[in-house]
Structure 1
Amino acid sequence: MNTPDSTHARAPLPRPTRRRFIRRHSATVRITHWINVLCLSVMLMSGLQIFNAHPRLYWGKYGADTDHAFIVIGSRKQADGLHGFLRIGSLSIGTTGLLGVSQEGNAVVPRAFPSWLTIPSYYDLGAARNWHFLFGWLLVINGAIYLAHGFWRGHIRRDLLPDRDQLAPRHVWREVLDHARLRFAKGDEARRYNALQKITYLLVALVLLPLMVLTGLTMSPGMDAVFPFLPDLFGGRPSARTLHFITASLLVLFVVVHVLMVVLSGFWNNLRSMIDGRYAIDHSGEAR
């Protein structure tokens, strides 16, 4: 009498999963990455303290007796207390509890960005500038080391420059759709950055960060005396200040998206690769 096993082929057994590690980041890339994290964090928080001294942004050269700010973070005193607002052009948005006012002890005070988000937490413009300039120069030195190492060891050319096939419009569009659907590269495809990552990292390293440094230098009277062309390069110091703020905001947006993608595509694996350089891929082609 035939048994079911004798009349039907057995289903193939699943292949055992074997994890293998690849070297993804060199020691120099990992060290400069974490120094960047520290520098940008301190610069952001001290920069917000500096911005609190005059929470208005302008474009072009303006007179001392006029105020034509197109972005303002402020507060209004109403019957029930202070209320924060953000004004962009003629559009005004209430921001009480987020921007414009800050709870300090038992008092509510006018403050563009809250005390818990600034360095130092109390208002001290001089201390904020010292923190900002110190970590700004550390960022410049760290960035120079990263770029020198990247060009010398081929990291920029090998890992960050998109291949010709990656720049094909159809390929880029497919990657955009994959990211929107939270579909991430697996197996050997995870060995290299995709086109969106490469383009974004190049824009940050070669455009946003240098622009932030140059606009920051333009706001320094001492630097303007040494390099008098800087204010004209950006249409005046007020415009440089606005570009500095916009660039910093874009960097914050990049960090938020970057951290989100790290978490969604495999947090521990990505974190490990930036700590000891190892990135795990299993034999079946799925990154872990």
Structure 2
Amino acid sequence: MGQEAEKALPAARGPLIYRQSVWTRLTHWVWTISLFFLLLSGLQIFNAHPALYIGMESGFDYDNAVLRIGAVNTAEGPRGRTTLLGRSFDTTGVLGMSGPAANPSFTAFPGALTIPSFRDLATGRVVHFFFGWVFVGTLFAWFLASLVNGHLRRDIVPRGTDLRALPGDFVDHARLRLHRGRRYGPLQKLSYFIVFFVLFPLIVLTGLTMSPGMDAAWPWLLDLFGGRQTARTIHFIVMLALVLFFLVHIAMTVLAGPLNLLRSMTTGWYRAGAATPAEPGDRP
């Protein structure tokens, strides 16, 4: 009887804490929209010349490409081919050649992944540049607000205790033992720190380096990244890193409780774990 009564008791719930400020929530959703349009319009721009190089220039007399996506004619007909660091792979149906066999599309990335969905470099560039500046402006606003309200110091920059606890937190995440504490865990802090202070600055600066106007105003950008072609390659690699971060971020959100985290990013209120002690201002 005692065991049955114990099973009937509701699970203990932690306090409802105010975890995300209005600035964090607003910039989070603006970034989500901006990065979506930046990714798809960026792939449209890439399709105009689907190759990446290392060096100050590219030319016909030599081939310094590290990535090339296209289509080739074979004995079986046209096939999509991706060449990475000198090694070629058949990517028919995904990259280089996609769509129905009767009317295939010979583009690096299929139209379903580009904005616009058809070849239109001019529109792709307009969309990309517009949301690029929205992204930069939002990043500047987030940095100032986070500096003032303490979010940067409290939740983003890892401390010595966070670094020491990082191996254990990594093991917990690998075992899907996710903690719902008042603050971000060590792995969360390190991940966000890398995104905000490494990936975001890199994607902005390499994007600016590809602009002839910015190169004229800031010629040191070309020296910093080893030329416009190398900057374009770094820009592409950082884009892939951000996509990977986004996929892991979504997976962790689903595993940690999507409704709770969605509430946190819309209202600011987050349901902490049962072991989290309540503080003044928390809700039951």
TM-score, normalised with respect to structure 2 = 0.90
Secondary structure of the 2:166 match is helix
Secondary structure of the 2:104 match is strand
Q: CA deviation at 1:19?
A: 5.4
**Matches of 2:58 and 2:254, distance apart in 1:** 48
Summarize deviations over 1:159-186 as a string: whole Å, max 9, x none. Answer: 1122322211xx2111111111111114
Higher relative contact order (CA 8 A, sep 6+): 2
Tell me the equivalent position of 2:270. Answer: 279
Matched, 1:67 2:63: yes
Paired AA for residue 91 in structure 1: R
**Matches of 2:58 and 2:68, distance apart in 1:** 17
Matched, 1:125 2:121: yes
**Matches of 2:101 and 2:33, distance apart in 1:** 28
Contact 2:58 2:64 in 1 (8 A): no
Change (3 A) 1:78 1:283: same
Q: How many residues align?
A: 273
**Matches of 1:95 and 1:267, distance apart in 2:** 34
Tell me the equivalent position of 1:202. Answer: 193
Tell me the equivalent position of 2:279. Answer: none
Summarize deviations over 1:54-97 as a string: whole Å, max 9, x none. Answer: 11111012353333211111111224432112211222111111
Which residue of 255, 259, 266 corresponds with 2:257? 266
Change (3 A) 1:225 1:192: same
Q: CA deviation at 1:38?
A: 0.4
Q: Which has the larger radius of gyration?
A: 1
Tell me the equivalent position of 1:183. Answer: 177
What is the identity percentage for the equivalent residue pairs of Structure 1 and Structure 2?
46
Tell me the equivalent position of 1:77. Answer: 73
Tell me the equivalent position of 1:227. Answer: 218
Q: CA deviation at 1:127?
A: 0.7
Q: CA deviation at 1:227?
A: 1.2
Matched, 1:139 2:130: no
Contact 1:151 1:157 in 2 (8 A): yes
Tell me the equivalent position of 2:18. Answer: 23
Q: CA deviation at 1:27?
A: 0.9
87-96 vs 200-209, which moves further = 87-96
Tell me the equivalent position of 1:49. Answer: 44
Q: CA deviation at 1:283?
A: 4.3
Which residue of 248, 262, 265 corresponds with 1:257? 248
**Matches of 1:175 and 1:276, distance apart in 2:** 27
Summarize deviations over 1:207-239 as a string: whole Å, max 9, x none. Answer: 111110100001011111111221111111000
Tell me the equivalent position of 1:172. Answer: 166
Aligned-residue CA RMSD in angstroms? 2.1
Paired AA for residue 38 in structure 2: M
**Matches of 1:63 and 1:107, distance apart in 2:** 32
Contact 2:95 2:110 in 1 (8 A): yes
**Matches of 2:140 and 2:41, distance apart in 1:** 22
**Matches of 2:205 and 2:156, distance apart in 1:** 23
Contact 1:73 1:86 in 2 (8 A): yes
Gaps of at least 5 residues in structure 1 are none
Contact 2:158 2:193 in 1 (8 A): no
